[in-house]
Amino acid sequence: MNVNWKVVGGYGAHIKSNRTEIIISHRGNVTEIPIRNISHFLLIGGHTIQTSTISTLMKEGTFISFCESDGNPVGYIAPYDYTSFKEIQNLQETTAPYSYALTCAFGSMKSRIFAIEEYTEKFGTDILYSGELDILSGYLNELGNMVLIDELRRIDQLVRDMYYEIISRIISPTYNFKRRTIRPYRDPVNAILSFGYGMLSSACMRAVIGGHLNPSSGFLNRGDQALIQDLMNCWKPGMIDKPAIEFLASDEFPSKGFELTRDRCILHEEIITKLITLFSESIEQNLIDSQIQNLLQALQGETQFTILRSPTLKIHF
């Protein structure tokens, strides 16, 4: 499935269309894009879009998704041919979840351990405290001995917490990033990561809905977008974290590209534009689509469920 993104970030864009083109007016600039060239239209932040434009996109089979300005997913609009098939969702919701949850936990943890190993090759083992990598590897080795999904979920969360604390040591202390936090984000690193995760979530959502699956019926995670979280946690280190960390360390990241208020960090338009380009290139939609095909085949008993891996991190600074 070939997916052509169009992402509109920040605030204040006015979006309209004619029969063949989307017309985006933003801060004095006007962009015209052939509708046939867009298969996923992602709106991040606050903008104005005509209802006739939404109708036009729906008729052309374009998937529209929405995120808040910090990347938090809000919802989506899908054409009729994305309507979920009850048979597939019934398989998803009635299958024994443990083996799927175990595979997701292993994929999530392995991706983080692999990333840490890559970072130690680049920066040296000084970024690790004594025994940290052994602890992480021990958690991974113990997964197969755990019999409850709650245990898998708890260990996966522990590894994720350790992972963010470790990568904080390779990021400039001037950004005051210590760990992954909840909203509102008070430092530029968390703000940038969340923006990227919002884009990755939208990419996963499009594939999940296109596969007629229920995005809230997960195996490892629970709640809204549980299945999305099951999958995207396995790809965050390679598709989002690595390019974000490289961007923060590069000359392209301006020191005044964000504003710290009393309770949150606000990314400036210049940064948002760069992030849209950066993550549009790093998110591997073809891999995500292939993963959904693997999940569908596994639910139908045609193959074994596995987490597909993106290429190696190939860290460059």
Structure tokens at 263: 């309770």
Q: Tell me, what amino acid is at 145?
A: N
On whether both 156 and 72 belong to a single domain, the answer is no
Q: Does a structural domain hold residue 314?
A: no
For the cut 80, the answer to whether the pLDDT of residue 26 exceeds it is yes
Q: Is the pLDDT of residue 218 over 60?
A: yes
Nearest residue to 259 (alpha-carbon basis) of 152, 184, 157, 160: 184
Residue 20 resides in a domain? yes
Q: What is the pTM of this model?
A: 0.89
Among the three residues 56, 82, 108, which one is the final residue of a domain in this structure?
A: 82
Task: Specify whether 43 is located in the same domain as 138.
Answer: no
How many structural domains are present in the chain? 2
Spatial distance between the Cα atoms of 128 and 272, rounded to a whole number of angstroms? 32
Residue 131 predicted with pLDDT over 50:
yes
- Same-domain status, 46 and 152: no
Give mean pLDDT, residues 106-113.
97
Q: Please check whether residue 211 is in contact with residue 296, taking contact to mean a CB–CB distance below 8 angstroms.
A: yes
Statement to judge: residues 58 and 159 lie in one domain: no
Q: Indicate whether 313 belongs to any domain.
A: no
Question: Three-state DSSP class for 31?
Answer: strand
**Cis before residue 184, ω within 30 degrees of 0?**
yes
* CA 87 vs CA 100, 167, 213, 305: distances in Å: 19, 43, 10, 19
Does 99 lie in the same domain as 65? no
Question: Does residue 315 fall inside a structural domain?
Answer: no
Q: How many Cβ atoms sit within 10 Å of the Cβ of residue 207?
A: 27
- Residue 246's identity, in one-letter code, is E
Q: Looking at residue 240, which CATH number applies to its domain? A: 1.20.120.920
Q: Give the pLDDT band (50/70/90) at residue 1.
A: very low
| pLDDT over 70 at 51, yes or no | yes
Contact 305, 293 (CB under 8 A): no
Query: CA nearest 194: which of 256, 287, 264, 140?
Result: 264
76 and 90 both lie in a single domain = no
**Residue 186 CB coordination number (10 Å):** 16
**pLDDT, position 3:** 57
282 in Cβ contact with 240 (< 8 Å) = yes
Residue 31 sits in which domain range? 5-82
Say if residue 312's pLDDT is above 60: no
The band of 313, judged by pLDDT with boundaries at 50, 70 and 90, is: low
In a domain, 310, yes or no: no
CATH number for the domain spanning 39: value is 3.100.10.20
Predicted pLDDT at 5: 82
* Together in a domain, 174 and 123: yes
Helix boundaries (H) for 45-175: 51-59, 86-94, 98-123, 132-142, 149-167
Residue 146 has pLDDT above 90, yes or no: yes
pLDDT in tens, 178-215: 999 999 999 999 999 999 999 999 999 999 988 889 99
Confidence (pLDDT) at 316: 59
User: How far apart are the C-alpha atoms of 151 and 92, rounded to whole Å?
Assistant: 21
Element (H, E) at 32: strand 29-34
Q: Which amino acid belongs to residue 81?
A: D
- Same domain for 40 and 98, yes or no, is no
Q: Are residues 240 and 157 in the same domain?
A: yes
Residues 151 and 13 placed together within one structural domain of the fold: no
Spatial distance between the Cα atoms of 40 and 38, rounded to a whole number of angstroms: 6
- Which of 48, 82, 116 marks a domain boundary? 82
Bridge partners for 21 per DSSP: 34
Domain boundary at 47, 82, 117, which? Answer: 82
Pair (76, 152) in one structural domain: no
Other C-beta atoms closer than 10 Å to the C-beta of 123 total 14
- Within this chain, do residues 74 and 94 fall inside the same structural domain, yes or no? no
| Residue 212, pLDDT score | 86
* pLDDT for the residue numbered 83: 54
SS3 316: coil
pLDDT in tens, 67-89: 998 889 999 998 876 655 678 88
* pLDDT, position 70: 87
Residue 316 domain-assigned?
Answer: no
pLDDT number for residue 317? 54
What's the CA gap between 243 and 121, in Å, rounded? Answer: 17
CA-nearest of 152, 193, 176, 156 to 70 is 193
In sequence order, which residues have a C-beta less than 8 Å from that of residue 142 and are 6 or more positions away? 155
Distance CA 40, CA 62 (A): 6
User: Mean pLDDT, the chain, as a whole number?
Assistant: 92
Average pLDDT over every residue of 237-264: 93
List b or e across 288-311, with b for residues whose CB sees 16 or more CB atoms inside 10 angstroms: bbebbebbbebbeeeeebebbebe
Q: What is the pLDDT of residue 255?
A: 78
Distance of CA 198 to the CA centre of its chain: 5
Identify any residues that bridge with 7 across adjacent strands, giving them in sequence order: 42
